[in-house]
């Protein structure tokens, strides 16, 4: 009798295992795809479908107001006429693995601490590891970021309110604007959203409205509002929303977008969808305050140099310097002399520029800077390829002539540093295809002749000083 009771009370090992695995996962809303830890308790309907209370409420509200068919609300295909046909189309895995929770959650949810904000020289030092040149730009950006996050902290310390210091970066294509911002966000460990101003339009027109930039930041912060409110938003190609000249049509992608961005830049509460980039009846909304979000805008501003040159020539035409008015024609860094008045003439409205008080320009990249970009940063392009070949136990080297040839080709393309990878990919393709064929290859040296397609690279075999030409037979 006692043995029967023991057997009855004994729990099978596989059940314990299943329960243990079940505890590691949580339900996911079928509509908004938020996990239970974010959306709250789920409601379960037939076929193992879970819906959060927010989506369920929106469903009922839409039914009452619009009379929308029930099947359309849940996003089911139109060929589903009854619940029995849903089962085969429901994803099998309606659960997500739970995120690990720290033993002391109060530390993880701690407000941004001023002691944790790196000082400007530390920020610049980290940027120096990855960004070549642009000394002035790195210094200005380091101070701006440091002061911004000090402002975030002091906003809760006393009654003195420090105004926002958003940033405007001006620089030619490929000068490193986006790379600077990415490196900065990684250093500070804050969420970053990068958006293109060319996709933004006035609300009600085809395209993304200005609030979509906040939606992207919320998504980058894993829908954590508090984390998103201390993040960075980088709006690239900002020059593309300059006010259109000599047009009678409504400027829905120019001045109207600038007007729409004003409140975001200054700081306001914005309702944005959770888990989606656009608002609709089935997506829950949340409120994000942009007061502590750092906005960085960047653009190449083509033809701005002509505006600057005209202004400088007018100043030079007065007095004894009149004979030097053409001295700016060959100035490669004319953008460094930009003023707010130049940007207003370009098409940026005064209210928009007033909300971007920190403005600086990046230098155009010359041949020497491109050579340094190739091999000096921690994650330099050449170092990446050297590591790839090192995995095959092959040493890859580039002689000085080869690096000069790569930089010269990049200068011809006039797209700055972003041209470097395309050039290297082109000549490295055959090398990375041929090298694994022969395990005796120990070293490959890239020469200028190979870059210019006048010769082939040299290789050395393992354990000997014997050299031969690679790809000789194929050429």
pLDDT one-digit tens code per residue, 415-428: 888 889 999 999 99
Q: List, for residues 207-252, the tens digit of each pLDDT value.
A: 677 888 998 999 898 888 889 998 999 999 999 988 877 665 656 6
Distance, in Å, from the CA atom of 335 to the CA atom of 314, rounded to the nearest integer, reads 17
Distance, in Å, from the CA atom of 296 to the CA atom of 375, rounded to the nearest integer, reads 28
Distance, in Å, from the CA atom of 44 to the CA atom of 66, rounded to the nearest integer, reads 24
CA 363 to chain CA centroid, Å, is: 22
- Averaged pLDDT for residues 111-119: 66
Query: Does residue 102 carry a pLDDT above 50?
Result: no
Distance, in Å, from the CA atom of 435 to the CA atom of 446, rounded to the nearest integer, reads 13
Query: Does residue 263 carry a pLDDT above 80?
Result: yes
Distance, in Å, from the CA atom of 177 to the CA atom of 179, rounded to the nearest integer, reads 6
CATH number corresponding to 114-299: 3.40.50.300
Whether the CB-CB separation of 362 and 176 falls below 8 Å is answered with yes
Q: Which two tokens stand for residue 310?
A: 């005209």
Query: Does residue 133 carry a pLDDT above 90?
Result: no
Contacts of residue 338, defined as CB under 8 A and 6 or more positions apart, other chains included, come to 170, 304, 308, 359, 361
- Averaged pLDDT for residues 375-386: 90
Whether the CB-CB separation of 324 and 333 falls below 8 Å is answered with no
Distance, in Å, from the CA atom of 364 to the CA atom of 177, rounded to the nearest integer, reads 11
Q: Work out the pLDDT band at 11, boundaries 50, 70, 90.
A: very low
Q: Are strands 25-27 and 95-97 parallel, antiparallel or unpaired?
A: antiparallel
Query: Does residue 324 carry a pLDDT above 90?
Result: no
* Residue with tokens 């003195």, as numbered in its chain: 160
Cα dist from 22 to 35, 46, 96, whole Å:
14, 20, 10
Query: Does residue 41 carry a pLDDT above 90?
Result: no
Q: What is the pLDDT at residue 458?
A: 86
Contacts of residue 425, defined as CB under 8 A and 6 or more positions apart, other chains included, come to none
The conformation of residue 28, written as its DSSP 8-state character, comes to B
Q: What is the pTM of this model?
A: 0.71
Domain ranges of the chain: 12-100, 114-299, 367-469
Whether the CB-CB separation of 86 and 80 falls below 8 Å is answered with yes
- Averaged pLDDT for residues 71-81: 48
CATH number corresponding to 367-469: 1.10.8.60
Q: What is the pLDDT at residue 475?
A: 44
Query: Does residue 105 carry a pLDDT above 60?
Result: no
Distance linking the first and last C-alpha atoms of the chain: 88
Q: Mapping DSSP to helix (H, G, I), strand (E, B) and coil, where does residue 30 land?
A: coil
Q: What is the pLDDT at residue 415?
A: 84
Q: Tell me which of 23-37, 255-269, 355-369, 390-404 is least confident.
A: 23-37
Distance, in Å, from the CA atom of 276 to the CA atom of 396, rounded to the nearest integer, reads 45
CA angle 369, 374, 375 (to 5 degrees): 105
Query: Does residue 91 carry a pLDDT above 60?
Result: no
Q: Work out the pLDDT band at 280, boundaries 50, 70, 90.
A: low
User: Cα dihedral sign for 225, 229, 231, 235?
Assistant: positive
Query: Taking all residues of the chain, what is their mean pLDDT, rounded to a whole number?
Result: 77
Could you please report the per-residue DSSP string of 211-255?
THHHHHHHHHTTT-HHHHTT-EEEEE-GGGGSPPSS--S--TTTH
Q: Tell me which of 10-14, 205-209, 360-364 is least confident.
A: 10-14
The neighbouring-strand residues paired with 42 are 52
């Amino acid at each position: 009798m006692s043995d029967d009771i023991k057997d009855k009370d004994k729990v099978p090992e596989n059940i314990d295992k299943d329960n243990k695995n079940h505890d590691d996962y949580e339900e996911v809303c079928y509509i908004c795809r938020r996990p239970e830890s974010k959306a709250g308790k789920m409601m379960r309907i037939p076929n193992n479908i879970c819906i959060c209370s927010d989506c369920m409420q929106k469903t009922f509200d839409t039914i009452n107001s619009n009379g929308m068919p029930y099947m359309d609300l849940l996003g089911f295909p139109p060929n589903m006429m009854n619940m029995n046909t849903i089962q085969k189309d429901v994803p099998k895995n309606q659960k997500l693995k739970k995120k690990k929770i720290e033993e002391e959650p109060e530390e993880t949810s701690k407000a941004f601490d001023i002691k944790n904000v790196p000082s400007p020289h530390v920020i610049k030092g980290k940027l120096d590891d990855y960004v070549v040149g642009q000394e002035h730009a790195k210094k200005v950006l380091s101070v701006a970021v440091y002061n911004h996050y000090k402002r975030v902290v002091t906003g809760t310390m006393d009654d003195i309110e420090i105004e926002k210091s958003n940033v405007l970066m001006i620089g030619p294509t490929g000068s490193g604007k986006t790379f600077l911002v990415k490196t900065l966000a990684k250093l500070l460990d804050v969420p970053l959203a990068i958006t293109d101003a060319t996709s933004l339009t006035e609300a009600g027109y085809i395209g993304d409205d200005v609030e979509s930039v906040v939606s992207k930041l919320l998504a980058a912060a894993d829908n954590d509002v508090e984390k998103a409110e201390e993040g960075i938003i980088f709006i690239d190609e900002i020059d593309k929303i300059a006010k259109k000249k000599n047009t009678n049509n409504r400027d829905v992608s120019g001045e109207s977008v600038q007007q729409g961005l004003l409140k975001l830049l200054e700081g306001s509460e914005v309702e944005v969808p959770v888990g989606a980039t656009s608002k609709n009846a089935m997506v829950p909304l949340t409120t994000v305050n942009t007061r502590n979000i750092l906005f960085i805008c960047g653009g190449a501003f083509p033809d701005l140099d002509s505006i600057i040159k005209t202004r400088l020539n007018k100043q030079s035409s007065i007095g004894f310097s009149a004979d030097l008015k053409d001295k700016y024609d060959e100035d490669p860094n004319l953008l460094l002399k930009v003023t707010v008045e130049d940007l207003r003439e370009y098409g940026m409205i005064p209210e928009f520029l007033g909300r971007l008080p920190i403005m600086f320009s990046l230098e155009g990249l010359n041949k020497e800077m491109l050579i340094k970009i190739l091999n000096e940063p921690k994650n330099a392009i050449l170092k990446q390829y050297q590591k790839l070949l090192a995995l095959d136990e092959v040493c890859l080297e580039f002689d000085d002539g080869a690096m000069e040839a790569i930089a010269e080709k990049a200068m011809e393309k006039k797209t700055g540093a972003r041209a470097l990878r395309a050039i290297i990919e082109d000549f490295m393709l055959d090398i990375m295809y041929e090298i694994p064929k022969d395990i005796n290859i120990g070293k490959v040296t890239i020469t200028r002749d190979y870059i210019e397609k006048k010769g082939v690279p040299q290789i050395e075999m393992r354990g000997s000083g014997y050299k031969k030409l690679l790809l000789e037979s194929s050429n």
